[in-house]
Structure 1
């Protein structure tokens, strides 16, 4: 007599296969999520710096982007132009750290769109990195030093 459906052994074998696939996929998913958080943080910073420059040009006055707490960019930032607030960015996700080279305490643009100082910011998290740099002309660039061998050297030379 033939029974219909699955037996206990078949069900356990299917569960075992699903558990193995899930165990193999979770670390990759965590790595992907960490990389997306890092890329999102660097891109938000890039867009904030671009907005700062655009506001300096639009209003014809100095525009500044500064860390929300006055020292750590991971705490978020605020943009003001002509003495008026333009935008506030909330804190970055946990696990994303930001460090900077000289001139990175604040971003400021003259009314003509030139930066007051050039600087480089390093975003790190989950074993990944992104670099955001502003050159002497005010050009802002985001790059991945792990994927682009010219990323760090080019930014420092600009």
Structure 2
């Protein structure tokens, strides 16, 4: 009778610890990069949504030949979201809810009338962006992320009605 040699192969505890250490190091390096990427995507999604909604409000004003306004959902707080409605009939088309964890720096103090603190953008029947007092709006909103405060996007409305999203970390001159 011959004795069989045990030929089963397995990992030693040391080998398993080395593999675990390598996985832990890779995780420590990649998790902050993934979090930055997710925060950037959230920020850009909100920025693009805001601009798309502003374009919609302008198009409705042109189509209906009446003023359409884009205002904060809760009085003077863009961070609560926004509403697009007809100024005359007060017909609301849609509403964007809370944008947390993204927020407007300074509560989105921009786009307020020169003589009042009322925030909002009114697109007149010709499609021009105005404040509630009729002054032209050429301004910016600054978006940031609560968990990654170093990430910002500037939403800039030019005098011709053109919107831009500006990344101050990449193109600081264009964000001025």
Q: TM-score, normalized by length of structure 2?
A: 0.79
1:122 aligned partner: 142
Structure 1 gaps of 5+ residues are 154-158
Q: How far apart, CA to CA, are the structure 2 residues paired with 1:121 and 1:100?
A: 8
Deviation at 1:95, TM superposition (A): 4.5
Across the aligned residues of Structure 1 and Structure 2, the Cα RMSD in angstroms comes to: 1.8
State the structure with bigger RCO (CA 8 A, min sep 6), 1 or 2.
1
Cα deviation code 1:27-64 (max 9, x no counterpart): 11111111111111111111111111111111111000
Structure 1 residues 95 and 136: CA distance shift in structure 2, 3 A: closer
> Radius of gyration: which is bigger?
2
2:40 aligned partner: 35
Q: TM-score, normalized by length of structure 1?
A: 0.87
Report if aligned partners of 2:66, 2:125 keep a CA contact under 8 Å in 1: yes
1:146 aligned partner: 169
Return the structure number with greater helix share: 1
Q: How far apart, CA to CA, are the structure 2 residues paired with 1:9 and 1:51?
A: 62
Structure 2 gaps of 5+ residues are 114-118, 131-135
1:109 aligned partner: 123
Match of 1:73 among 78, 85, 100: 78
DSSP 3-state at the match of 1:123: strand
Count of residues paired in the alignment: 153
Map residues 36-115 of structure 1 onto 2, 5 A cutoff. 36-81=41-86, 82=88, 83-98=90-105, 99-101=108-110, 103=112, 105-115=119-129
